[in-house]
Structure 1
Amino acid sequence: MKVKFQNKGELLYATQVANGIVLQQTSLPILSNILIEASGQEVTFMGCDSDSSVKCKIKAVEAEGKITVPAVPFVNLVRELPENNSFEVLFALNENGVVDVTSGTNEYHLQTMSPEDFPEWKAIEPLVSFEITQEVLKKLITKTLFAVPDKDPRKVLLGAYLTVDNNFPDVAKAPAEETSCHLRMAATDGKTLGYMDAIGTGRKGQESIGVVIPQKTLGEVQKVLIGQGLVQVGIGERHIYFRINDIEFKTNKIDGEFPNYELVLPKDFEYVITLDKTAFSKAIRRAAIVTESQTSAVTFKFKPDELELEAKTFDLGSYKGNLYKPQIEYEGKPFELSINQTYLMKTLNVMETDKITMHVKSPSHPIIFREEDHLDTLFLVMPIKM
């Protein structure tokens, strides 16, 4: 096997994309490796774990054969290679089964494993496929991934729920194209929730489907969404793929029935408040300094065009601060509620507009947050029972 590269940037990018999926600790040593497969002047870098895989194609000066290399040392090696106008790196598999990596005066010799032991890449036959812009897909992931828990006994919550159908929201007119489809991505950890609606194009296959996509895969997909082009998405019987230019991600879906979050969304509200997001966030961070770690409770006392924030703990002390118009706009009767500031802040951090609205049915009901003039997104935070 022999491969020659003359573009360090492309080489490093491909290795980092593949390494993003690789398991660092695994009972299957082959899964801690990257597969490099070369043919002609095209080289594919592939990484995988037990549930997902990715491949990234780049060009090489000359290429043939395939090898595996230990992922982390290989990425570090490429990162540290000196870059200059005459950059060139050569990979060659010697007769001892060792990969020789040569660049200028630098020479590495890496142990390898048989590429035949690397999991085979199998194509997915989609039940539904569609296209979406990179920009919109990145927003879908950003607006939901924050609500996915890192750990939860309910495995179905460890990902975002993507639905594809023709149920276009009332706030968005159905597109004229017959192949367009309504997309919604949602995620919840039981304390927070986020969802976003979007439009897909070029839909093929069945009219409606729902699938839970693992958090790790979505996080890696999000990292490569840096352009203006289209992403091809396919949903099969048990797998999902994302094709972004010369990169393709493939993952198992998470089995189980995603909770019907619509049941907990209040339909009418007693209180509606408009807030300056930056001022509101800063006030919460000030209060958080003295919150108790287990509940992280901050009390919000609303009056017409005024908000008083309070926090206190026995060990640390207390805080009291106020916001006034125009940082808050509210015309209703006084009320108060308490919220875990950790859950609230991670929600506010993904909201992009300067002004946000807070919708409250009662101090004990779920609280809805909306971005100003963005009816395609919705966020929910559970209050602390007082």
Structure 2
Amino acid sequence: MIRPISRAWLVVDIVGAVVGFAITTPLTFVMGAAGLSAWIPDGSAAVVAYVVVGLVLWGAAAIARLSPALALCVAWFGAVVQMGLGLPPAAYDLGILVVLFATAAWGTTRLLWIGGISALGGGLVGGAYFGVVWSGELLTDAASALRAALIAALLASVFVLVMVMSWGAGFLWRVILSGRATQVARAQAETMAAEEQERVRIARDMHDVVAHSLAVVIAQADGARYAAAAKPEIATEALGTIAQTARGALSDVRMLLTQLRHRQGDGPQPTLADLETLFAQVRHAGIEPRITVDPMPPGEPPAAIQLAVYRILQEALTNAIRHGDGAVDVHLAWLPDRVEIRVANTVAPGPAPVQLGQGGHGLIGMRERAQLVGGSLQAERRGAQFHVYGMLPIGHPA
């Protein structure tokens, strides 16, 4: 029954109803004073009748936005009182049009159709009543009855047209509001989807940077601990590698956090030229990758492809450091329309990488990297080896 509306709109509606009552009441006296004397001879009684009906109808208009259902009931009550007193159509009836607009614009679906029926039925009833009562003729013969019927039909047509137009205007406003709400919901959904994609991207980049760097640091730290007693110089070299790797990881993490905080651009990203640095870090971690590039890249591959190749190799080599036994084969084939990536390493005894799609942020991240550029990636264990195969299209995805 009561809709939640702001106090400002409630004040606007009340002030508008007061202004409407103040404007239509003098017009009502001017338009209806001549015909009222036949039913209410007392002039003071006529004034009271006009004022009461006007207050009821414009009171309904004042609460039309707050409670369209209650406003419709009050408007019907005012119309019945108006007909019961024999009052003619007057300017204060404009309040009924406001109520019909409100039922279509802000009412429930049921109230919407009740308002439409009220517009049609009220117009017919009002036209028939005022056509017969205010025809100025006594129904003494067939001619006077025909004249009254024609007047009633004409007035009913006018009333129905005006009321249905008011109700239709409210229905149109309802459609506009629904369209706006749909647009807002779609914009919110798009914003949430974009934010989710951004979080996934940041999480993927963070994992690629942190997981690889920590794998190298852990491998170097283990090696330095075992070699500290026998060969201090090896321990010193391992500590230098740890420091260098940690500084690089810290720089990458700061860049990612800056993007996340300030929504800046991607900034500098790894390219094929950085692969040698990646391989050097892997060698320092105790893994000797056997690298084959055949054929070589035909020109300068797109930056997105270079980034995807780097991140996929980074994660695959990180898995080799964590789960391998010290040997890994890397094969890159730069074909005219695609680049193929193959990484295979022997799995050391103990827990092995999980299958792609069954868990593990790194393997899922590799697949997302491939899918972002229109490619595909498979990662699985075959016997004692773990294989990663990726295909990335160069140019437009097939």
Name the TM-score, length of structure 2 as normaliser: 0.17
Larger radius of gyration: 2
Q: Which is strand-richer, 1 or 2?
A: 1
Q: Which is helix-richer, 1 or 2?
A: 2
Greater RCO (Cα-Cα under 8 Å, separation 6 or more): 1
